[in-house]
Structures are given as structure tokens and as C-alpha cells.
Amino acid sequence: MVSQGRSLKRWSAIALGLVLTGGLTGCVERRYTIRSDPPGALVVVNNEEIGRAPVSRSIVYYGDRDVTLTLDGYQTMHVVQPIKAPWYDNLLTEFFTENVIPWTLRDERDYTYKLNPATIPATGDLMARGENLRVQGQSPPPPRRGGLLGFFGF
């Protein structure tokens, strides 16, 4: 009977040790910050408005981000920003960095974009472009092919 009590205490201590050790495991915190020059540009990442620059977001997955910055009086900037994984966060080491290492790794990226002032087109050029679009809109579209291939757009 005494031996069963010791065995139960031993397994309880081992289970408690495993639970506490699991709570000490580290993780990887991933974050990027987008800044604009001048500050205050509206930032849209992957068709999701995230706020006015400077703005930060957490990263779940690495890869390319489709970034658009807009600000009154400046040209809209569209950039495809690649975010590459660091050496310790790849297919072979990710399990260890997320679950085994007992401290937190931080991956913080900072991207700054310089916006160009908007240029106002000359009135004559603007009128010519508008007239060209009007002519294109009044002409009929080219005929489509009939039959089975026409149905599929060929």
C-alpha cells in the first residue's frame, strides 16, 4: 500500500514537472512596422486597411505583402513587399524555435516609404484624354464569335 502511494506521488510529480516545463517553452513573435515620409499616409495591406502610418501588425506567415499608401497631395504608392523568414524560422527548425527553446525570439521588421508629391496635369492634356475616352465609349464593341467557341469566349 505504501509502495502504491509513492508511485502515485512520483507520477504526479512527473506530470506536474512536464506541465510546468511546457509552460516555459518559448515562441517567436513576428511584427512589421510601416512608416511613410511624410507620416500619416493611409496604409492598406493585402486589401485590408490597417491604419495611418506609422502602423504595426503581427505576422503569422512570412511571404509577400501587397502594400498601398495614400495621402492627399501625394501620389498613391503601390509596393509588393517581400518578408522573408529568418534563418531560425524554417521548415526544419520551426518546431524547436516555437516549442522547445525556453525564451521568446522577436522578429521585428521596419519599412519606410517616401511618397512623391502629386503632379497636376495640364488642362489641355486632361481634356484630350477625356475626349479620347468619350470616342472610345461611343464606338460599338467588336463582334463576338458565335457558336460553341463563342460561348467560351474564343
* pLDDT (tens digit per residue) in 100-121: 777 788 889 999 999 999 888 7
Structural domain containing residue 111: 27-92+103-133
In a domain, 119, yes or no: yes
pLDDT band for 139, please (50, 70, 90 cuts). confident
In a domain, 5, yes or no: no
The span from the CA of 135 to the CA of 123, in Å, is 19
In a domain, 139, yes or no: no
Q: What integer pLDDT is reported at residue 36 of this predicted model? A: 94
| 22: CB partners within 8 A, 6+ apart | none
In a domain, 13, yes or no: no
In the chain, how many domains are there?
Answer: 1
Could you tell me the end-to-end alpha-carbon distance of the chain, in angstroms, rounded to an integer? Answer: 85
Q: What integer pLDDT is reported at residue 67 of this predicted model? A: 95
Q: What integer pLDDT is reported at residue 106 of this predicted model? A: 85
Q: What is the mean pLDDT of residues 20-29?
A: 64
Quick: pLDDT tens for 58-103: 988 888 999 999 999 999 999 999 999 888 777 777 777 777 777 7
In a domain, 62, yes or no: yes
**Residue indicated by cell numbers 525564451:** 103
Q: Is the predicted pLDDT of residue 148 greater than 80, yes or no?
A: no
pLDDT band for 5, please (50, 70, 90 cuts). low
The answer to whether 41 and 115 have CB atoms below 8 angstroms apart is yes
In 3D space, the residue among 55, 23, 50 whose CA is nearest the CA of residue 39 turns out to be 55
H-assigned helices in 24-143 = 94-99, 123-138
The span from the CA of 131 to the CA of 136, in Å, is 9
pLDDT band for 41, please (50, 70, 90 cuts). very high
Domain with residue 112: its CATH number is 2.60.40
H-assigned helices in 24-102 = 94-99
